[in-house]
Amino acid sequence: MPESAKLNCGDVELDLPVIEGTENEKALDVSQLRRETGLITLDEGYVNTGSTRSAITFLNGEQGILRYRGYAIEDLAQNCDFVEVCYLLIYGDLPNGEQLAEFRSAIHSHTMLHEDMRMFYDGFPRDAHPMAILSSVVSAMSTFYQDALDPANPEHVEICIHRLIAKLPTIAAYSYKKSIGQPFIYPENDLTYCENFLRMMFAVPCEPYEIDPDFVTALNMLLIVHADHEQNCSTSTVRMVGSSNANLFASIAAGVCALWGPLHGGANEAVVNMLTQIMEDDGDVEKYVAMAKDKEHGFRLMGFGHRVYKNFDPRARIIKAACDRLLDKMNIDDPLFHIAQQLEEVALRDEYFVSRKLYPNVDFYSGVIYRAIGIPVPMFTVLFAMGRLPGWIAHWKEMHASKNKRICRPRQVYTGENIREFVELSDR
Ligand code: MLT
């Protein structure tokens, strides 16, 4: 591969340096393009645009590889707990025992919400979407911790990180409790991260609650496989908002909003809704496959295909195996799981899906596990957000530490009207 590519544009000949990453992926550096030629690049949806250099997550979509800080997702999902993976993503290395104990204890000391923050929940309608509550309450954290918001102050950033990781499960569980009219359950700091979340979700003050270790294992795995995915829509949003030096809470709240969309994190909810629709329609999988292939119909199979994975999504494989194990162990015969399996089988052998590389992605099976754990459908994307939080934080931090940091400010190709004569209201 040459060290640069030549671009001839009118009289100007420009050398565009080839930038190479540590896994040999290559990019053309176009940073001098506008200055030298007056041109910009146009890449709608950023399909070919590298927005940054990053040392956090490596992803090879052709080979189905996903690594956090160099560690294979399969190894992390099998051997780590989520808090360890948070540490890895945010600080760059797996923690030793002492570092991990210190990190856990920092998180444990921030799990409660300020009592006034609990009052917000009184103002939300009972049927509010929990992603709306999550982004609002995360954003409102900047009103409670005004003395520690400076992105340039490492101590402020550190405490914001602890507060976010500690409080997100509490904020999330309270949104569910609000929706069903049950009392909020305070966090219990002797429990692990996932145990604590399950207890806050499902315990009631009048009965003992036993935490199912299989649910804890499944939840831990799900959080880990969702923890980062390089420059996806919500992470890019967090970087974009953070690039203006907005505080960490504001940046993460924006990431939550970006994740909410059905084309991004909201897809897991959309998958279960689609499977339920098929089940209620006599489980006629073939009919829905035909509808998906019919351009006129506009029906889209949710949870299939991915912008960057071209062969398989390694996360989907991990989740599917865990899903098989969990349903088997619990002896659950979930009709949605059967429909999901049939849909997968049809799609994987049908030329239409094969040629378009539409295979199940991370969202396809995660909903089935969430259901088995008893997580209600509107909370699925909230769980995705809990998982993605360390990735967002790691990227926000990496961006601030970069010597190349500038406010993100893309250009555009204007396609509107040329200058027009102003017309008075009375003459229009
Ligand atoms: C993600 O994990 O963020 C999704 O798979 C979407 C993406 O990477 O573009």
3-state secondary structure labels for all residues of 125-185: CCCCCHHHHHHHHHHHHHHHCHHHCCCCCHHHHHHHHHHHHHHHHHHHHHHHHHHHCCCCC
Distance from the CA of 135 to the center of ligand 1, in angstroms? Answer: 19
Q: % helix / strand / coil in the chain, to the nearest 5?
A: 55, 5, 40
Residues with CB under 6 A from ligand 1: 229, 232, 264, 306-307, 362
Going from the Cα of 229 to the center of ligand 1, the distance in angstroms, rounded, reads: 6
Helices (H), 181-266: 193-202, 213-225, 233-242, 248-260
What pLDDT score was predicted for residue 77? 98
Which residue minimizes the CA distance to atom 2 of ligand 1? Answer: 229
Q: Bridge partners of 415?
A: none
pLDDT of res. 359: 87
Ligand 1 center to residue 86 CA distance, Å? 18
Minimal-distance CA residue to ligand 1 atom 8: 232
Quick one: residue 46, left, alpha or beta (phi over 0 = left, psi -120 to 50 = alpha)? left
Nearest ligand 1 atom to alpha carbon 264? 6
Q: Which residues are identified as catalytic?
A: 306, 363
Q: How far apart are CA 253 and CA 310, in angstroms?
A: 30
Task: With beta carbons less than 8 A apart as the criterion, state whether 65 and 59 touch.
Answer: yes
What's the confidence (pLDDT) of residue 178?
95
Cα 232 to ligand 1 centre (Å): 5
Q: DSSP 3-state assignment of 79?
A: helix
Q: Would you state the pLDDT for residue 210? A: 97
pLDDT at 227: 98
Task: Please report, for residues 121, 122, 253, 323, 418, the alpha-carbon distance to residue 116 in angstroms, rounded to integers and kept in the order given.
Answer: 10, 11, 19, 39, 53
Most ligand 1 atoms within 8 A of CB, residue of 232, 304, 365, 388 to mutate: 232
CA nearest ligand 1 atom 9, residue: 232
Of 37, 38, 32, nearest in space to 17 by CA: 32
CA atoms within 13 A on the CB side of 106: 18
Report the atom number in ligand 1 closest to the C-alpha of 384: 2
From 222, 306, 318, the mutation candidate for ligand 1 (largest count of ligand atoms within 8 A of CB) is 306
Question: According to the model, what pLDDT value does residue 334 have?
Answer: 85
Split the chain (428 residues) into runs of 10 and give each run's mean pLDDT: 89 94 96 94 96 97 96 98 98 98 97 95 96 98 97 98 98 97 97 98 97 96 98 98 98 98 92 94 92 89 91 93 90 88 88 89 90 94 97 98 96 98 97
pLDDT recorded at residue 244? 98
CA–centroid distance, residue 264 to ligand 1 (Å): 6
